[in-house]
């Protein structure tokens, strides 16, 4: 049985690996000419995704590639910075976790899956027929039994299959840029907070440079195209123009940056992720919100479950697709709920919120371990939900012709 996957970032390679293990013939098409190297930001993998990584045999590689960010310094105008040991907080809410640069994660997953799948770079799907005939932008048409969109929030496969699905903005925008590590950061993240916005910079082990990160909540949605980088940089500068600390320097470095990411913190709330021979996985189908909803872990889990359900149902998509949606729908719903709350908590809405974030960091630093864990569990239910799905032990059952 031939399966076409669109997208080679995170969900795509995970799905390709497990489908190949289950005996499917897998092709992955990626619009970019090579594996994407966007200078991407750090992402989190929680227990379920880490368990899947272990089953894939890449756990050691993930551990070796982790960012190593262990300390946060929180800055406020006219105040001394407050430090927070991140390891204490993370250990309190998840017993298995790694933070890794998205580019590193993508490369590790690609290398693990490439021997079992055909990868086509520099091409994109332009049409999908009900009979499985797929037309490509550059290559010849080919027939596949199933097509999976693993191509992110702005999914081409979703647009071709479902039309222009409504995206639900949850009030914030995220920007990340590759900048010089001019502060000499080593395992540290420096963040400044103001009402409606936070800006920061962090380094990572194995990186010669750093990442500038901006998260802000404007009064209304911004008007821009997601491929219009110059306008995105202008909007970012307008949002942070009068902010102090290192922000003017970070904006200047971001203007000069060759690698830059900007997008709305947006959710997808489709009633179903499948139609006919086509289904969606990861952000393409159920993005809970970049940077706030655990979308990377969710993409890994979704890919693993989709492959497993296809194997368990002998490749019968009419049974496997509903089973896949049923298996993770509650996990997706709770991730969405958490993302909305997290977007509000991460970006202070009032001066009191700015103060409260600093006091919370100060308090965690001075509590003994057991009390830290108790406080974290009371205040970070959303983080704990990322550990809260039980994975089925899908086993390769048969070869699907």
Q: DSSP for 210-264?
A: EEEEEEE--SS-----TT-HHHHHHHHHHHHTT--TTHHHHHHHHHH-SSEEEEE
DSSP conformational letter for 66: B
Q: What is the pLDDT of residue 371?
A: 45
Token match 């910079």: residue?
201
Q: What is the pLDDT of residue 187?
A: 85
Q: CATH no. for residue 118?
A: 3.50.50.60
238 within some domain: no
DSSP conformational letter for 146: E
102 within some domain: yes
DSSP conformational letter for 115: G
235 within some domain: no
Per the structure, the count of domains in the chain is 1
- C-alpha 203/C-alpha 34 separation (Å) is 25
30 within some domain: yes
Q: What is the pLDDT of residue 335?
A: 84
Q: What is the pLDDT of residue 375?
A: 47
Q: Contact, 191 vs 346, CB < 8 A?
A: no
What count of residues does the chain have?
Answer: 401
Q: Contact, 197 vs 215, CB < 8 A?
A: yes
Buried b (16+ CB within 10 A) or exposed e, 366-401: eeeeeebbebbeeebebbbbbbebebeebeeeeebe
Token match 């969606």: residue?
280
308 within some domain: yes
Structure tokens at 280: 């969606």
Q: What is the pLDDT of residue 250?
A: 98
Q: Give the residue numbers spanning the domain of 129.
A: 2-67+98-167+269-345
332 within some domain: yes
222 within some domain: no
Q: What is the pLDDT of residue 293?
A: 58
Structure tokens at 281: 């996985």
Mean pLDDT in order along the chain per 10 residues (401 residues): 98 98 98 82 90 96 91 88 76 74 95 98 98 97 98 95 86 94 91 95 88 95 92 98 96 96 89 96 88 82 98 97 96 84 83 84 60 48 62 70 46
250 within some domain: no
Q: What is the pLDDT of residue 260?
A: 94
Q: Residue 149 is inside which H or E element, if any?
A: strand 146-149
């Amino acid at each position: 049985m031939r399966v076409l996957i669109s997208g080679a970032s995170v969900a795509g390679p995970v799905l390709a690996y497990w489908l190949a293990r289950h005996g499917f013939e897998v092709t992955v098409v990626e619009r970019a000419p090579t594996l994407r190297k966007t200078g991407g930001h750090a992402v989190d993998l929680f227990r379920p995704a880490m368990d899947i990584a272990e089953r894939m045999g890449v756990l050691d590689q993930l551990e070796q590639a982790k960012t190593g960010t262990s300390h946060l310094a929180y800055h406020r105008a006219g105040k001394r910075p407050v430090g927070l040991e991140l390891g204490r907080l993370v250990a309190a809410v998840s017993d298995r976790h790694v933070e890794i640069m998205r580019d590193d994660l993508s490369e590790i997953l690609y290398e693990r899956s490439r021997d079992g799948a055909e990868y086509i770079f520099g091409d994109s799907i332009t049409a999908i027929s009900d009979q499985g005939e797929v037309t490509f932008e550059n290559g010849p048409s080919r027939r596949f039994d199933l097509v999976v969109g693993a191509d992110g929030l702005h999914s081409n496969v979703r647009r071709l299959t479902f039309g222009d699905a409504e995206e639900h903005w949850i009030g914030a925008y995220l920007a990340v840029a590759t900048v010089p590590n001019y502060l000499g950061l080593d395992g540290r993240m420096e963040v400044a907070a103001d009402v409606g916005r936070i800006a920061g910079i962090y380094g990572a082990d194995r990186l010669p440079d750093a990442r500038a990160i901006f998260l802000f909540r404007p009064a209304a949605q911004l008007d821009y195209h997601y491929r219009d980088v110059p306008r995105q940089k202008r909007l970012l500068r307008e949002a942070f123009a009068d902010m102090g600390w290192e922000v003017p320097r970070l904006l200047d470095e971001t203007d000069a940056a060759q690698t830059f990411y900007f997008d709305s913190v947006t959710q997808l709330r489709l009633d179903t992720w499948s139609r006919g021979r086509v289904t969606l996985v990861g952000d393409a189908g159920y993005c809970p919100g970049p940077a706030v909803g655990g979308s990377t872990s969710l993409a890994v889990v979704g890919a693993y479950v989709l492959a497993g359900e296809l194997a368990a149902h002998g490749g019968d998509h009419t049974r496997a697709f509903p089973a896949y949606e049923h298996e993770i729908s509650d996990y997706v719903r709770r991730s969405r709920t958490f993302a909305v709350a997290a977007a509000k908590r991460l970006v202070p809405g009032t001066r009191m919120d700015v103060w409260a974030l600093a006091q919370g960091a100060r308090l965690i630093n001075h509590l003994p371990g057991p009390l830290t864990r108790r406080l974290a569990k009371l205040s970070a239910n959303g983080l704990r939900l990322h550990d809260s799905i039980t994975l089925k032990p899908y086993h390769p059952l048969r070869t699907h012709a």
